[in-house]
Structure formats: C-alpha cells, structure tokens
Amino acid sequence: MRIKWFSFIRVTGLLLVLLYHFFKQAFPGGFIGVDIFFTFSGYLITALLIDEYTRSKAIDLLGFFKRRFYRIVPPLVLMVLISMPFTFLIRRDFVSSIGSQIAAALGFTTNLYEIFTGGNYESQFIPHLFVHTWSLAIEVHFYVFWGFLLWFLGKRVANHKQFRGLVFLIASGLFLLSFLSMFIRAFFVSNFSLIYFSTFTHIFPFFLGAVLATLTGVRETTGRFKKNVQLWPTKKVLIVMAGSAGFLLLLSLLLDFNHLLTYLFGFLLASLFTAVMIYTARVLNDKTPNLEEPRFITFLSDISYSVYLFHWPFYIIFSQLMPNWLAVLFTLVFSVAFAVLSYYIIEPYIAGKKSDFFGLTLDLSPYQKWIYGGFALLSVITLAISLTAPKVGRFETNLLVDSLNQADNNMNRTHTLAAGDASAISNVSIIGDSVALRASSTFTEILPEAQLDAAVSRNFTSAYDIFQNQIDSNTLAKTVVIAVGVNSVGGYQDSLQKFIDGLPDGHRLIFVTPYNAKDGRIPELRNYELDLAQKYAFVTIADWYETAIAHPEIWNGSDGVHYSDSSTEGAKLYVQTIQDAIQKAAKNPAKGDT
C-alpha cells in the first residue's frame, strides 16, 4: 500500500541535502535533510512491522532483512563501482585510503570509520568520496537493532494492542536516551562531528518516527487517527503540512553545523517538523481518495535514495574540474541518470523481478553476459585503484611534514629586534588552522622569532582554549596572532570579542582575515574584523583575504581555502602578510597603554 503525499517528505529531505552540499553558504543548515530521512524511515519501518504483526501475529525477520538488503545494497554497490573510474580525472589525494573507505561503506561502518580516523563532516579539504554513507550506516544499525527487537516482542506479547503499546513505550524511552546523550555531550566536545556521526547520539529521529508510527500506522490505523481524518478540514491539513515544510526550509537557512544550539535543539526541531509532515500527509491520503500524487514527485521520491548515493562522489569530482554551477549541473544529470538505471532496471533485475521502465517491461536475460562483464570490469578497476592508492595523500603528507617543521621551529625558537616595540616584534605567538600549518616551514624562514601553534580544522573555540591556557600559564606572547576563522564562520562576533576582552594589558592582538573562495560569508567576517581594528587600537589586521584575492595564480587546482600544492608563493605571501601586520602592530599601543 503506497501512501500518497509521502513522496513530498522524501523529496524535501533530498532537496535540503542537495542545497547544503551545492550551496553551503546559502543553506548552511541543509544537513537536516538527513534527519528528515531518519525520522521518515523510523516511521515507515515501524508502521509496516506493526501492520505485519497485526495481520499474522508474527514478524518474518528474514523477509524483513531480505527486503532491506535488496533496497539498500544494490544501489550502494553500483554507486561505488561507477564512481571509481571517474577518480582518474582528479588528484590522487582523493583516493588515498580509498580501499578502507569502500570497506567501511559496504560494511555500513562509515560513521565509525570517520570517528576513528578523526574525520570532520565539514572538512575544508580532500573530502572522502563516500563520507555521505555515514547516514546509511546509522540507518542499517537501526534496521538490525529494531528488526530483532520487534521480532522478539512479537513472540512475547498476546495481541496487537499490547504489541503497539510496548513499541510506543520502548521507542519513547530510546528516543529520550539518544537525544539526551546528544544534548549533554554537545557541551563537552570540541569537534561536533563526533556526536554527529555517532549512532548512539544521532539515532533518536528514527525512534521519534517509530513513536509516531504507533499513533497512526499505514494499513492498521488507530481510532484516534481515524477520528482526526474525519474532523480535520483538508485546508487545515494542507496548511499544517506546508507550514512544517516551510519551517524545515527555515532551519536549513539558520542552523550552523558548528553551533551548540544545533545539537541542543536544531536536530530535534527538524525531526519534530518532519513528524508533523508525516502525520498530515497520512491524514491527507485518507482525505483525498480521488486525487493522485503528481507523477514527477513520485518519480523523484522513487529515485531519491539512489540520487543521494550518487550525488556526493560526482559533485566532489566535478567540482575539482569546473566552476560550481557547472559541477552542480553535471552532478544532477549523472546522478539522476544512474539513479534511474539503478531503481528501474538493475534493482528489479537483481531481485529476480521484471524491469519496468515507465510502463515498458524490459527483459534483460539476453544481455546477461554484458551485465556480468560490465560488473566484472568495474570491480577490477575498483580493486586496482584500491590496491595502488596511497595510504596518505600528498596534501595530508605535507600537513604532517608541516607539523614536524612547526615542532622543530618551536624548539629552536630565536628572537630578533626591529623598529617599534621590541617585545612586540620578538615575542610573537601564532594560533592558527591548517592554512597556517601549511606555511610552517616558511614561518621558520621568514619569522623564526614566532612560535606557531597550528592544527587542522581549528576554529575560534579551540583557538580560544589555547589562548586561555597560555594566559593561565603566564606564557602568552606580547603579540598574539589569531589565524583562524574559515572553520567557524557562524557566531564569529562573540568569538572575536572573547579574544579582545580576554587579552591582558600590555599585549597586542592580530586577527588574520580568512579566505574561502567557496563561502560567501567570509567577506562579512573580514569586514567585521576590520571594524574591530578601527575600534581597538591594540588590534591589528593581517589581511590575508585581500592578499588572496590579489593573487589568483596561487589557487590553481586548490580547494579554494589552501593555496595550491605547487605554489610556494602562496605560503610566502601568507607569512609576509602576517609579518607586515606584526611590524605594524609594534608601532601601535598595547592594550591598557594610554
């Protein structure tokens, strides 16, 4: 039994995910599209299992897992095999440790792989081609756990009412346990990806959907639900459903991945609005027996899972080769084409069914040799790439070398004098992110007097922790350079003010303006930092943003954040920009000077 209007929920989830990946600066909270899928999957799976128990007083666990296998695994394998030949078009950095990534994707452990390898969901460089399968991993974890649990309950309860009640209580308890774990842990982690990827902390939308399933159902609905179908006006149902979708869109515009409130309330609100959409769509189905769902929406809903799988590796690959708008266009064309191939042809064929392509029944038996041959060829290519891929990419290798250079530089630190306040020139510390880390050897050459403390994915929060530790240990340099910002664009006003307020008297502060060619919010952050320099005499700006704009040649083949691997000029320009700011700051008063 297909419920009309449910397709709008799937399409909404897919749309928000695509907008987030394609236009992150405009839709910074679009990642909640995954939570829409989570909530809907929890609802649909639970409702179908309740219906099955109500009909037959038992749950066919093997049949349940078989259906999940045929729906999940074939598109996933197809996505991996088809994506791999395209990697010949881009740098080998993108296939470093690709064998481990494939194993994690096919083993439904990508979320654990990303946690254990220190992955960051919003990584600014060399994103994993299959990182998006973290959500599929959590989904499969839910299916296995929930399938076994409901099968076990079905063998222990006497009737369907008791079964539905127990499912409600258990799902409610697990929902609260998981949500509270995210809520509490959010106060204690420096990298939110740890709780974002975690099955335990991010599985609660499934259980919210399960709770909702006990209150409605697909075939076997509750008495209260049937009364609501009779009592609620169709116009009211439409308004509530559309309003919920509107609130989800609003969250996609407002939420920030690295903001605490996202983990305290953002994901919860997304799941609740999705639950309202599900309930109203279910009501609308029964109130509109003579209306049909738009065929285009049904089509998009059918291929949504496969489009989700294909879009990420294609977008990563195409975005390395062409402007963003063209990469988006190519990604959509290829993703939809292969999703159609998967859903309408390959998946039915693997399941032993006839392939029905828009009413045209296809008999693939004459083409079995071609199908198996193509599968074998793609498998050989994938295996060859996996075996020959570097364990660590060039970019990450360079970062490791830069980290060693940074440590060596700090152990052999020297001091030099120049015009202005001597201590401001000779006593300098730089707290930076991966952009600063990449320039560690150049810092040694140009600014040997400076002590560099830089790390990958560092944001304002972690930088402030280092800043405060240096204050507490009485090791804070006379001139402090804060070279972060690209990893924490949201809420930067409060973060910057904390540095200014916390800076002790007698010290100077330098902010390095960040640069990211793909993030339209960066100029706003930069302008705010320039305003702070006008407001506070002890604050100076090292305008890396201006330097980066003036030298487009250093960005060829880069990710738009880190200057090109082949450009030694990029590191030199970066350090010289900071050096000029240090010399300028030395001529300005320190904090507390009159």
Residues 105-122 pLDDT 10s = 999 999 999 998 877 666
Do 448 and 369 lie in a common domain?
Answer: no
- The mean per-residue pLDDT over the stretch 343-357 comes to 84
Q: For the range 490-495, what are the long-range contacts, defined as Cβ-Cβ under 8 Å and sequence gap of 24 or more?
A: 490/28, 490/256, 490/258, 490/259, 491/256, 491/259, 492/460, 492/525, 492/528, 493/528, 495/460, 495/461, 495/464
Rg of the chain on CA atoms, in Å: 27
Give the mean pLDDT of 394-421: 51
DSSP state letters, 206-263:
HHHHHHHHHHS-SSS--HHHHHHHHHS-HHHHHHHHHHHHHHHHHHHHH--TT-HHII
Q: Please report the DSSP string for 548-594 in residue order.
A: HHH-GGGGTTS-SSS--TT-HHHHHHHHHHHHHHHHHHHTSPPTT--
Task: Tell me the per-residue pLDDT of 528-558, one tens digit each, with 9 for 90 and over.
Answer: 999 999 999 999 999 999 999 999 888 876 7
Model confidence pLDDT, tens digit, residues 49-71:
999 999 888 999 999 999 999 99
Q: How confident is the model at residue 302 (pLDDT cuts 50, 70, 90)?
A: very high
Domain match, 323 and 405 both: no
- Provide φ and ψ at 91, rounded to 5°: -60, 150
Structure tokens at 344: 């309408």
Give the per-residue pLDDT at 416. 39
Residue 592 included in any domain = no
- pLDDT value at 217 more than 50: yes
| Residue 440, domain CATH | 3.40.50.1110
Percent of the chain with pLDDT strictly greater than 70: 91
Q: CB–CB of 511/542 below 8 Å? A: yes
What are 22-27's contacts with CB under 8 Å, separation 24+? 22/315, 22/324, 22/328, 22/331, 24/518, 24/519, 25/518, 25/519, 25/520, 25/521, 26/253, 26/520, 27/252, 27/253
Sign of CA dihedral 353, 358, 361, 363: negative
Whole-number Å distance between alpha carbons of 268 and 273: 9
Task: Over range 514-520, report the average pLDDT.
Answer: 82
Last residue of a domain, which of 353, 388, 423?
A: 388
> Does residue 227 sit in the same domain as residue 133?
yes
Q: Decide if 336 is inside a domain.
A: yes
Q: Let me know if residue 594 belongs to a domain.
A: no
Question: Alpha-carbon distance 199 to 111, whole Å?
Answer: 8
Record the pTM.
Answer: 0.80
Q: E strands within 487-551? A: 508-512, 539-542
- For 57: left if phi > 0, alpha if psi spans -120 to 50, otherwise beta; the answer is left
Q: Please, which pLDDT band fits residue 418 given cuts at 50, 70 and 90?
A: very low
Higher pLDDT pick, 469 / 405: 469
Q: Do residue 496 and residue 517 come from a single domain? A: yes
Residue 587 CA: distances (Å) to CA of 228, 294, 391, 467: 73, 68, 48, 23
Neighbour count for residue 497 (Cβ, 10 Å): 11
423 confidence band (pLDDT: 50, 70, 90): low
Residue 330 or 159, more confident? 330
For residues 176 and 210, membership in a common domain is answered with yes
Domain assignment present for residue 343? The answer is yes
pLDDT value at 465 more than 80:
yes
What does each C-alpha distance from 420 to 36, 425, 476, 510, 589 come to in angstroms? 58, 8, 20, 16, 10
Phi, then psi, of 27 in degrees rounded to 5: -125, 65
User: Is there a single domain that holds both residue 433 and residue 319?
Assistant: no
Structure tokens at 60: 């066919």
Q: Is the pLDDT of residue 400 over 80?
A: no
Take residue 147 and report the two structure tokens written for it. Answer: 């399938």
User: Of 334, 361, 388, which one is at a domain's C-terminal end?
Assistant: 388
- Residue 77 belongs to some domain of the structure: yes
Give me the pLDDT at residue 558, please: 73
Q: Give a yes or no: residue 1 inside a domain.
A: no
Distances in Å between the Cα of 151 and the Cα atoms of 147, 207, 276 are 6, 16, 28
pLDDT in tens, 183-210: 999 999 878 999 999 999 999 999 999 9
Domain range spanning residue 268? 6-388
Query: Given pLDDT bands bounded at 50, 70 and 90, which one contains residue 564?
Result: confident
Are residue 270 and residue 244 in the same domain, yes or no?
yes
**How do residues 478-500 score in pLDDT, each as one tens digit?**
999 999 988 766 678 889 999 99
Residues 364 and 425 in one domain: no
In a shared domain, residues 338 and 412: no
Q: What is the domain count for the chain?
A: 2
Q: Are residue 379 and residue 405 in the same domain, yes or no? A: no
Measured from the Cβ of residue 159, the count of other Cβ atoms closer than 10 Å reads: 11
The answer, yes or no, to whether residue 162 has pLDDT greater than 50, is: yes
Checking if the pLDDT of 216 tops 60, the result is: yes
CB proximity list for 437: less than 8 A, separation 6 or greater: 399, 402, 403, 406, 452, 454, 455, 456
Q: What is the mean pLDDT of residues 138-148?
A: 97
- Same domain for 543 and 483: yes
345 and 468, same domain (yes or no): no
Domain end residue (candidates: 368, 388, 408): 388
Task: Output the 3-class SS for 319-367.
Answer: HCCCCHHHHHHHHHHHHHHHHHHHHHHHHHHHCCCCEEECCEEECCHHH
CA distance 214 to 226: 13
% residues pLDDT > 90 (the chain): 61
The tally of CA atoms less than 13 A away on the side-chain side of residue 292 is: 4
